[in-house]
Amino acid sequence: MSKRVDTVIKIKQANFTLHRAGAGEPLLYLHGIHGAASSFRVMESLARYYDVYLPEHPGFDSSDMPEWFESIHDLAYYYLDFLDALGLEHVHLAGHSLGGWIALEAAIRDPRRFRSLTLISSAGIHVKGVPKGDLFVRAPEVVFKSMFADENIAVAIMKEGQSKNNEDTFIKNRFATARAGWHPPMFNPHLAKWLERVRLPVRIIWGDCDRIFPIEYAHAFHRLLPDSTIDIIPACGHLAHIEQPHALVKSITSFIGGLPK
């Protein structure tokens, strides 16, 4: 499978959209708060090396908003059910932002399901004295601009994406993000103490100009995850898959490619 194939899968009485491309070892990529489409470019590059699964989270994009989705914990258990439904084992797991938080919650529950974990500007913890960028109170366009080292990229994207369909999807994704991470804002106060359960090789990838989760969060994850390495991408904000996609793909592939077979 080389070209992207989009399918609908049914899990727990609800329909979800799955994008898949490539061949090789399975790589499950969990998107951030803006939905799956913004990661298609990175997916295409990763599909040269891996069998990439890019699902739309419950409540995001064209996936259903099931009644049982009430918190980040529901998404973690959903993805363990997702692996069962697709018969996947020993999966490379990667997640950006909210997707990284979901990946961590799934990995502490059943680390044996995964071969490696890649965190990209991940949510999930709180570093005392280091405030995060607010995703909910500030105006959306202000938040989006703050996600880039070069705000001109944000301005260009916003001009291109002005349509009713894009607006509807944005509102839906924002609502789903709030369900997962409204309070406490984008972290689980109990997660840090369980991260020692993630007995996997971990790559932590961060933009040096991330204003949503400042670089101190990358170093905090590095201290908390026993078998982790850290890669800081220069001239990059929170959205490495948009601002520095080549550097992101290089970091992921060099990490996974360097693991023992």
Domain ranges of the chain: 5-257
3-state DSSP: the chain helix, strand, coil percent, rounded to 5? 40, 20, 40
CATH match for 5-257 among 3.40.50.1820, 3.90.1150.10, 2.60.40.1180, 3.60.15.10:
3.40.50.1820
Q: What is the largest CA-CA distance in the chain?
A: 48
Q: Residues 180-229: pLDDT tens digits? A: 999 999 999 999 999 999 999 999 999 999 999 999 999 999 999 999 99
Determine contact, residues 203/255, Cβ cutoff 8 Å.
yes
- Count CB-CB contacts under 10 A for residue 152: 9
Read off the pLDDT of each residue in 119-136 and give the average, rounded to a whole number.
Answer: 97
**Angle formed at CA 73 by CA 165 and CA 81, multiple of 5 degrees:** 80
Q: Could you say which DSSP state residue 179 is in?
A: H
Coil vs helix vs strand at 231: strand
Q: CA–CA distance from 116 to each of 53, 102, 159, 204, 256 (Å)?
A: 15, 15, 37, 11, 7
Q: What does the alpha-carbon distance between residue 3 and residue 238 come to, in Å, rounded to a whole number?
A: 28
What's the angle, vertex CA 76, arms to CA 250 and CA 211, rounded to 5?
Answer: 50
SS3 assignment for 142-168: HHHHCCCCCHHHHHHHHHHCCCHHHHH
* 2 contacts: CB under 8 Å, gap ≥ 6: 21, 22, 23, 47
Chain segment 37-69, per-residue pLDDT in tens:
999 999 999 999 999 999 999 999 999 999 999
Say whether pLDDT at 1 is over 80. no
Provide the pLDDT for residue 18: 98
pLDDT at 198: 97
Tokens standing for 180? Answer: 């997962």
The token pair that represents 159 in the structure block: 């001009």
pTM, two decimals, is 0.97
Taken in order 40, 199, 196, 234, is the CA torsion positive or negative?
negative
Q: Which amino acid is at 49?
A: Y
In angstroms, the CA 102 to CA 122 distance is 9
Across the chain, what does the average pLDDT equal?
96
Confidence of residue 164 (pLDDT cuts 50, 70, 90): low
Report the Cα 255 to chain-centroid distance in Å: 17
In whole angstroms, how far apart are CA 46 and each of 36, 153, 157, 207, 251?
Answer: 14, 23, 23, 19, 11
- Write the single-letter amino acid at 235: A
Percent of the chain with pLDDT over 70: 98
